Structure 1
Amino acid sequence: MVVDSKATITYIQSLKEDLSVFRLVPQDGAVPEYKAGQFLTIGLHVPNENKVIRRAYSIASHSENRKYIELYIRWVRKPLPGRLTTQLFNAKEGDEINWLKPTGAFTINNTVANGQKDERRLICIGGGTGLAPFVSYAQHLHAVGDKRELVVLHGASYVDELGYKELLTDLEYESIDKGKDKWNFTYRATISRPQEWFNRSWGGQVGRVETFLRSKDGGPSSLEKLVNDKITKENTIFYICGWQGTIDGVMDFLKPRGFASERDKRPDGSFEVKYESYG
């Protein structure tokens, strides 16, 4: 039998009508232990069905934050609106919600297959709300003083969907101010619909997020220019989260270059790509 704990929605930030940040505080006051990259299953009572429905969402906050759990959620309404998400987007601050203990394996690798410390740079590619686990990664690695190079790439359709832009930009500024030997972090975003009127102010990268990996003229890719290094399976591990199309787009580029995913790891257990799909 599933036993739910109770939490209170203490904060809602509406980025647009179908994209919001939610903060939950357990009613017993104890934020559960979890790892960056894991997900939280929440539940809400649906009156017309007289039952609790549940769904899992990646956690955007980090485990060193003991004040609340933060979720970054889109309300997908086509072809049919999700039942739980519809309830959630009609909820108010102060409302009660059910939750189950965080779980999931989409976590940061600290060792390689032979047991040695993983020193590779981390390239995190998030499509839409697939950014959430990487916000957790960045805050966690910052909090523990990890010195590995971390690059977060975010793809969205519109500029107002670049959730956490301010937070991630501030983390990059800190890296510049302190020096990359202290905190080595880079954040970049791309907009896939630059021709839309709402995106008229955007002056950054355009196209789907996987375009960061592709060379336009046979030279270094945008990503390689960003890190000032050639990306190889020896020096880089990729983490990808988003719709299956985003994952397929990245893997179509990486596989021919010898990168192996965790799900298709080599006989010795080695791999260079971890991914999590939500559709």
Structure 2
Amino acid sequence: MVVDNKAIVDYIRVLKEDLIIFRLVPVDGQIPDYHAGQFLTIGLPIPSENNKIIRRGYSIASHPENKKYFELVVRWVKKPVPGRLTTQLFNAKVGDEINWLKPTGIALSINEKLPNGEKDNRRIVCIGGGTGIAPFVSFARHFHDTGDKREIVVLHGASYVDELSFHELFTDLENESKDKGEDKWNFKYSAAISRPQEPLNRSWSGHVGRVESFLRPNEDGKSKLEYIVGEKITPQNTIFYICGWQGTVDGCMDYLTPNGFVTKDNSREDGSYEIKYESYG
């Protein structure tokens, strides 16, 4: 039998009518230990279904060192029919109670060691489409607060500027890296807007296209990502973490697979790999 924990909605930030960031504070005040990249299963009773509890998992944007609250970014599912749980979530108010289960999931766990036992010091490239950015917010905060010196690059793709849910946080982290020096905090961030022609995006002057287009070679054979990091991306110097719609994952694979990158599910005989991913939809 599933035993739910209880939490109170402590904070809600409406980014747009169908996208919110909210925080949950456990009623008992205890945030269990978990790992960056895991997800939290939350549940709510559905009045139209005799208060049946519906549960869904959402990637955690807060990081394990934060023992005050869980932070999630959620999109309201409207098509083909309104989502039962997300509709309830978007009607929730600060102070409301929500059920939750202990964080779980290993698909996007941070790789710490190479097959030979040595520490994995490869550059980490995180590619998030839409709300798929959430686990990489946790990555960035975790690396920052633990003083990890590995290079981390976060690439976020969205249809509209107001869907770049953690743009300010990532920009601040990148500026801190520039101020302190990459030997102390090595963080880079870039975003892409896929519908630049829309009026709501008229202020956008950054990268245009789907997020996987950062991997597309230009006429000189170098990708936008390689310009960002300043060197050729290889399986020896970079590991990729991808989260988003299946189309985002497939789009990234179209560029990575021909260049010799393999997923954890298809690890080589020696156990090596360069891609971890999690898809939804």
Aligned to 2:214: 212
What is the CA distance between 1:79 and its match in structure 2? 1.1
User: Which ranges of structure 2 fall in alignment gaps of 5 or more residues?
Assistant: none
Q: What amino acid is aligned across from residue 268 of structure 1 in structure 2?
A: D
| 1:236-268 deviation line (CA, Å, top 9, x unaligned) | 000000000000000011111110001111121
2:68 counterpart SS class: coil
Q: What amino acid is aligned across from residue 230 of structure 1 in structure 2?
A: K
User: Is the counterpart of residue 133 in structure 1 residue 132 in structure 2?
Assistant: no
| 1:195-252 deviation line (CA, Å, top 9, x unaligned) | 0011001000000001111122133111000000000000000000000000000001
Question: 1:241-256 maps to which residues of 2 (within 5 A)?
Answer: 241-256=243-258
What is the CA distance between 1:117 and its match in structure 2? 0.3
Q: What amino acid is aligned across from residue 73 of structure 1 in structure 2?
A: V
Question: 1:164-179 maps to which residues of 2 (within 5 A)?
Answer: 164-179=166-181
Q: Distance in 2 between matches of 1:119 and 1:48?
A: 51
User: Which ranges of structure 1 fall in alignment gaps of 5 or more residues?
Assistant: none
The equivalent position to 1:201 in structure 2, one of 203, 222, 227, is 203
**What is the root-mean-square deviation in Å for CA atoms of aligned residues?**
0.7
Aligned to 2:239: 237
What is the CA distance between 1:178 and its match in structure 2? 0.3
4+ aligned runs moved over 6 Å, structure 1: none
Q: Distance in 1 between matches of 2:76 and 2:259?
A: 36
Question: 1:137-176 maps to which residues of 2 (within 5 A)?
Answer: 137-176=139-178
**TM-score normalised by length of structure 1:** 0.99
What is the CA distance between 1:112 and its match in structure 2? 1.3
Aligned to 1:270: 272
Aligned to 1:4: 4
Q: What amino acid is aligned across from residue 75 of structure 1 in structure 2?
A: W
Q: What amino acid is aligned across from residue 5 of structure 2 in structure 1?
A: S
Which moves more between the two structures, 19-28 or 213-222?
A: 213-222
Aligned to 1:32: 32
Aligned to 2:86: 85
1:91 counterpart SS class: coil
Q: Distance in 2 between matches of 1:193 and 1:156?
A: 8
Q: Distance in 2 between matches of 1:46 and 1:33?
A: 30
What is the CA distance between 1:128 and its match in structure 2? 0.1
Q: Distance in 2 between matches of 1:252 and 1:76?
A: 28
Q: Distance in 2 between matches of 1:246 and 1:2?
A: 33
Aligned to 1:228: 230
Q: Distance in 1 between matches of 2:48 and 2:164?
A: 35
Q: Distance in 2 between matches of 1:155 and 1:122?
A: 17
Q: Distance in 1 between matches of 2:249 and 2:191?
A: 17
Q: Distance in 2 between matches of 1:81 and 1:48?
A: 13
Q: What amino acid is aligned across from residue 9 of structure 2 in structure 1?
A: I
**TM-score normalised by length of structure 2:** 0.98
Q: Distance in 2 between matches of 1:64 and 1:21?
A: 19
Question: 1:42-191 maps to which residues of 2 (within 5 A)?
Answer: 42-50=42-50, 51-105=52-106, 106-191=108-193
2:48 counterpart SS class: coil
Aligned to 2:17: 17
| 1:36-84 deviation line (CA, Å, top 9, x unaligned) | 0000000000112121010000000001011100001111211112111
Q: What amino acid is aligned across from residue 249 of structure 2 in structure 1?
A: I
Query: Identity of counterpart residues, as a percentage?
Result: 70
Which moves more between the two structures, 37-46 or 112-121?
A: 112-121
What is the CA distance between 1:182 and its match in structure 2? 0.2
Q: What amino acid is aligned across from residue 272 of structure 1 in structure 2?
A: E
Q: Distance in 2 between matches of 1:230 and 1:253?
A: 14
